[in-house]
């Protein structure tokens, strides 16, 4: 790896991008890798994820060079299953480190990018342990820094953040970029999307989803009100998640479309007049890039309550309605959805506010910074 007086230059462009577990960590990793490859076709991008994450399905389908680690996060419950998983965690860490060491020896990375999740920490650690330290870059999706960002902030050459973060330990290395989102997320066509789902273009459409894995709480909340949408001028596209689809597919009708997982999120956003969802960082980045009004229901058990903090940014801007789990009941959720879809002025105001927060070029901005790492960090 060569250095000039200003810019650190990669000789072979061997880059590791580590992150996953959920779509919020996985899809930014893929977006960054795709943008690097578009600019530098000869670059070798090697992704690292977990055997237990969404990436175990996605990497092979997208034919990406990758390594999966036998690592999973610490289980917080006290069930027998959780205790067993925690007991074997040290052995999984050792096995993962050995696998990473072999990869580093063979692949010889010149840069390691971490996008969070339990699969990103060990590759970042390995990068800092080399005789000649390998530069690391962190991409933090949330308004509250995750544990990986906090662990490696003082070692990172750069930290790309999606929201303003008040953390004195990060300030000298951060750049506000927004979150990387899928390249085509803003390119959906409403008329084609409505036809794909056999929905009525004359009705308002509400898109309900709980992230890439679904949300049991959100699904149960929707179940309590779903029949109230039949017979009124509202239609629902409802992504339940794979694990819960069989519980809710019985609600399928002409105006209610239930699906386990949506690959083409661009179409889902394009057809929606209102989005009801959790407030994970990637979700909000896509919602705002598409300029969609939203009702946000933060996951109450999110680390550091980061989903509530994320949601408040949109709420304070007028882009969303915010319900905390403890305050949500079937009446106020149905009434708010029904009120908004029948109030075009309010939806338009929320849409405009959402667009002001959107950063559809975040991936390009991040890669601009990756290509220009200051040599004195």
The arithmetic mean of pLDDT across residues 245-250, rounded, is: 96
Superfamily of domain 190-357: Glycogen Phosphorylase B; (3.40.50.2000)
The arithmetic mean of pLDDT across residues 42-50, rounded, is: 96
Query: What is the pLDDT at residue 49?
Result: 97
Dihedral Cα 97, 101, 104, 107, nearest 10 deg: -110
Given a cut of 80, whether residue 82 has pLDDT beyond it is no
Query: What is the pLDDT at residue 132?
Result: 87
CATH 3.40.50.2000 domain span(s) along the chain: 2-181+361-370, 190-357
Residue 275's beta-bridge partner residues?
Answer: 207, 294
Rounded Cα distance, 148 and 65, in Å: 23
pLDDT digits (tens, 9 = 90+) for 169-218: 676 689 999 999 877 899 999 999 999 999 999 999 999 999 777 899 99
Contact criterion met (CB below 8 Å) for 292 and 320? no
Query: What is the pLDDT at residue 376?
Result: 36
Structure tokens at 67: 């390594």
Given a cut of 90, whether residue 78 has pLDDT beyond it is no
Averaged pLDDT of the chain: 90
45 or 211, greater pLDDT: 45
Superfamily of domain 2-181+361-370: Glycogen Phosphorylase B; (3.40.50.2000)
pLDDT digits (tens, 9 = 90+) for 92-138: 899 999 999 999 999 999 999 999 988 999 999 999 999 888 999 99
């Amino acid at each position: 790896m060569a250095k000039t007086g200003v810019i650190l230059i990669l000789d072979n462009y061997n880059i590791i991008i580590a992150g996953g577990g959920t779509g919020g960590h996985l899809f930014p990793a893929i977006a960054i890798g795709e943008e690097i490859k578009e600019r530098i076709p000869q670059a070798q991008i090697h992704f690292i994820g977990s055997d237990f994450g969404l990436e175990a399905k996605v990497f092979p389908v997208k034919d990406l060079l990758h390594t999966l680690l036998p690592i999973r996060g610490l289980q917080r419950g006290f069930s027998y299953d959780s205790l067993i998983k925690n007991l074997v965690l040290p052995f999984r860490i050792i096995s993962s480190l050995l696998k990473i060491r072999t990869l580093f020896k063979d692949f010889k990375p010149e840069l390691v990018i971490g996008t969070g999740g339990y699969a990103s920490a060990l590759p970042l650690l390995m990068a800092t342990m080399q005789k000649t330290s390998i530069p690391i870059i962190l991409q933090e999706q949330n308004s509250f820094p995750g544990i990986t960002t906090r662990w490696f902030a003082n070692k990172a050459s750069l930290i790309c953040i999606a929201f303003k973060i008040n953390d004195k330990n990060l300030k000298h290395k951060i750049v506000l970029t927004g979150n990387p989102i899928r390249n085509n997320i803003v390119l959906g066509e409403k008329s084609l999307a409505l036809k794909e789902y056999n929905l009525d273009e004359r009705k308002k459409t509400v898109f309900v989803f709980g992230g890439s894995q679904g949300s049991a709480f959100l699904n149960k909340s929707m179940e309590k009100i779903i029949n109230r949408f039949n017979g009124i001028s509202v239609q629902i596209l409802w992504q339940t998640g794979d694990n819960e689809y069989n519980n809710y597919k019985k609600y399928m009708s002409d105006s209610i479309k239930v699906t386990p997982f949506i690959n083409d999120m661009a179409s889902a956003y394009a057809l929606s007049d209102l989005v009801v969802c959790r407030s994970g960082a990637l979700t909000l980045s896509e919602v705002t890039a598409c300029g969609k009004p939203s009702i946000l229901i933060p996951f109450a058990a999110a680390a550091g309550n980061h989903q509530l903090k994320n949601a408040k940014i949109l709420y304070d801007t007028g882009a969303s309605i915010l319900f905390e789990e403890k305050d949500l009941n079937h009446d106020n959720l149905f009434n708010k959805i029904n009120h908004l879809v029948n109030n075009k002025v309010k939806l338009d105001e929320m849409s405009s506010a959402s667009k002001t927060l959107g950063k559809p070029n975040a991936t390009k901005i991040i890669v601009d910074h990756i290509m220009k790492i200051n040599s004195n960090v």
